[in-house]
Amino acid sequence: QAPSCLAPCLWHALAMLQLYKNEAVTNVARRQINIREMELHWYSNNYSQLAAQGAMFAGFAFTQLTTPLNGKASAALQYTYMLCTAFALGFQLCVCLSSTFCCIFGRGLALRGPHGARSVHVAVDNLRKEQKLVFTQFLLGGLCYLFSQMSQLFIFRKPVTAIIISVVLAVFFFMIVYNTIEITAKLQVSETVAITGQIKALGPYERIKDLDQEIYAPLDRSMYATAAG
């Protein structure tokens, strides 16, 4: 009778080992996703900040475009002013739209992607790649807005007053450039040494598909085919 009792016990032990192994892999994968979620939140917050600041600059630029110009100013100065303002508005609108799309579709891909953990990796990696372009557009829009303000001074103010204010703005312009370069050099992490939350050793386990979809989808299709027949 002992051998007959040993078989169920052995099967139970094997089943328990399989469950423990699956639980161990699942826990490690979940912790990896938690780390990647921190990256996702960080990129989303960056895009939200860029979108808010870009919307503010875009509002200022739009107000300037709708302001009537002084007819006494030269045509070249007016064209320079309008072009700088238009570029500032265009760059900041690109920042707002790109940031909005990245936040909406990036989070959506990470949450509802068809490939599970791989969808999270794709979402985070693409948010990282797009951030540099969006940030560059934001800087260019801010510089165009500053040049627009300097051109506006020579249109609506006397030349002496415009020159004095332009010198002050130029000083702050170089301060902004200097601070931007200094802060970026000290705090920005290079892409070659940046650490991500992706654990490449778990790559084979990330190919496991949604069990619910894999188990019940074929039954649903067979039911539909039977009903149609």
Is the pLDDT assigned to residue 7 strictly greater than 80? no
Look-up of token digits 């948010």: 127
pLDDT digit string (tens) for 96-130?
999 999 999 999 999 888 887 888 889 999 999 99
Contact assessment for residue 99 and residue 51, using Cβ atoms and an 8 Å cutoff: yes
Q: CA–CA separation, 200 vs 92, rounded Å?
A: 37
The mean pLDDT of the chain is 82
Q: What is the pTM of this model?
A: 0.76
pLDDT digit string (tens) for 33-51?
888 889 999 999 999 999 9
- Residue 67 corresponds to which tokens in the numbers above? 């302001």
Q: CA–CA separation, 155 vs 68, rounded Å?
A: 11
Which one-letter DSSP state was computed for residue 39?
Answer: H
Residue 165: exposed, middle, or buried by beta-carbon count in 10 A (0-12, 13-18, 19+)?
middle
Q: CA–CA separation, 186 vs 203, rounded Å?
A: 34
Is the pLDDT assigned to residue 16 strictly greater than 60? yes
Q: What's the pLDDT at 229? A: 52
Q: CA–CA separation, 36 vs 33, rounded Å?
A: 5
Stronger pLDDT, 98 or 185, i.e. the higher one = 98
